[in-house]
Amino acid sequence: MSLTFRILTLCYIYVMIGLPLYILTTGILGRKIRWKYLAGFCGYVCVMEWMSMLIQLVTYTSWDGIPYDDIVLFTIHAAVLGGLMHRGFQIPVMHAVTAAILGAFIYLTSASVITEAVNTYSPLFDRQHFLVFVRLYLPYTFCLLLSMFVFVILKKAEFYRYFAALFANRGRAVLILMVSYILMCSLPVLDILAPGRMPDAGYAVFFFALIVVSLFLIQFAAMYAAGQDKIKAQEETILQQQAHMELLEELQQEIRAFRHDFTNLFSGLTLQAQAGDLKGIQDFMKKTSSYFDEKLGSEIAQMDGLNRIEMYALRSLLTAKLAKMRQEKIKTVLEVLRPVKKDQAMDGSDLLRALGILLDNAIEAVPAVDGKIHIVLLQEEKELYLAVANNYEKTPDMTALNRKGYTTKGKGHGTGLSSYRKIIARSAGCASRTYLREEMFVQELHIPVK
């Protein structure tokens, strides 16, 4: 065989490693294949595999029979592919790397079984080119077709939805990362523990069953985790509903008290009218207007604003936070200038978490006396504008805001901003802005409409 044919064969094999890895990872994450990133990753794999081979040639060493060959190379491949997915799709790094490792496990297992079976059971041919085609081109091409089949199955089953639920909690995320890595290393390690095994039908069935069972167990664990998160969300919704009912009851009591006070005030107005005291009547009207605003105006404005929010979970969250602000004697203004639509480009749970972090930070930052918070929601044609502004005791250091853990409230606070930035980073089209204006700390969030 010519040198050119050998080089082309190696390049083909290396491309057939990169393609399935990328396809499987995008299937696990539920993303569309982006050809630019696919080409870049395949190019990277080719370079790394050539470097690995050259190192062996230069150092006169062989990695055959050593499990660290596949483990080290595919660990690096998974890390690079995870970083690529993080950059291209704004997916959290741990989530993306775990998906790449799981994809590497599926590929390594299927490729090893297929290539070993072909090399063991295929007959020998006199023509070397045909032998290379049967023992190299054919199995690696079949691995690519198998990865495309798995990609379609994962997309149809919406595996990515369940898989993503495992990363809502950091502890679960670390656990699934470790499990995926152990699975990826299982077959290379087995090559050392049982080097003389025969790739018979039972062997193939076992490892393909391992892939199916592993994916099933991961999906089952994810469904359980999602169920627990849903129960927790329902409990929070119930608490928010209770806060909403308390607000209604409080408003009803205020109306009753105002009605009683207004009857007494109106009696005094009648006497002034009979006496022709015009100036007294004018003073009475001013006092009554300010009295009304103090007693009921802000509550009615808040209720009116809440009723303009079509997204029930968002309305419940704001109701709960407003109730907390009233308990802490924080003066609050809520402005919902137009009806807020249900359909926003940001995921509903991410929207609630982001706004919840902004509101919690504002509640923590206001002075103990005379705290003020101003909340604005403006639904426009192409985006939803959110703003939370609060006064403060200590002027925030705007240059240090992006530093992890920064807070003006001391140790134990300030952990929410890093989570908030991660949410914004993974939500396509969303943008945030933070600034000081008129002794108020303002945080804005722009969310595109679907």
Domain ranges of the chain: 3-199, 312-450
Specify the higher pLDDT residue, 155 or 240.
Answer: 155
* Tens digit of each residue's pLDDT (9 = 90 or more) over 240-267: 667 667 766 766 676 676 666 666 666 6
Query: Phi and psi of 23, rounded to 5°?
Result: -65, -45
Query: So what's the architecture of 312-450 in CATH?
Result: 2-Layer Sandwich (3.30)
Task: Give dist(CA 362, CA 249) in Å, integer.
Answer: 26
Query: What single DSSP character describes residue 67?
Result: T
Predicted confidence band at 67 (pLDDT cuts at 50, 70, 90)? very low
Average pLDDT of the residues in 347-353: 84
pLDDT score of 162: 79
Predicted confidence band at 413 (pLDDT cuts at 50, 70, 90)? very low
Range with lowest mean pLDDT among 32-36, 58-62, 250-254, 359-363: 58-62
β-sheet with 440-448: strand ranges across: 331-336, 372-379, 383-390, 440-448, 431-437
Most confident listed range (193-207, 297-311, 344-358):
344-358
Most confident listed range (218-222, 278-282, 384-388):
384-388
Q: Is the pLDDT of residue 64 over 50?
A: no
Per the prediction, the chain carries an average pLDDT of 78
pLDDT score of 65: 42
Long-range contacts of 74-83 (CB under 8 A, 24+ apart): 74/104, 74/108, 74/184, 75/101, 75/181, 75/184, 76/48, 77/17, 77/21, 77/45, 77/48, 77/104, 78/21, 78/103, 78/104, 78/184, 80/41, 80/44, 81/21, 81/22, 81/25, 81/41, 82/25
* Tens digit of each residue's pLDDT (9 = 90 or more) over 266-308: 666 666 666 766 676 667 666 666 665 555 556 677 777 888 8
Quick check: helix, strand or coil at residue 335? strand
Query: Phi and psi of 268, rounded to 5°?
Result: -65, -35
Report the Cα–Cα distance between both ends of the chain, in Å, rounded. 57
pLDDT score of 258: 65
CA distances from residue 381 to 314, 335, 341, 449 in whole angstroms, order as listed:
19, 18, 10, 8
Q: Is the pLDDT of residue 21 over 90?
A: yes
Q: Is the CB of residue 48 less than 8 Å from the CB of residue 67?
A: no
Specify the higher pLDDT residue, 219 or 35.
Answer: 35
pLDDT score of 77: 92
DSSP line for 29-65: HT----HHHHHHHHHHHHHHHHHHHHHHHHHT---TT
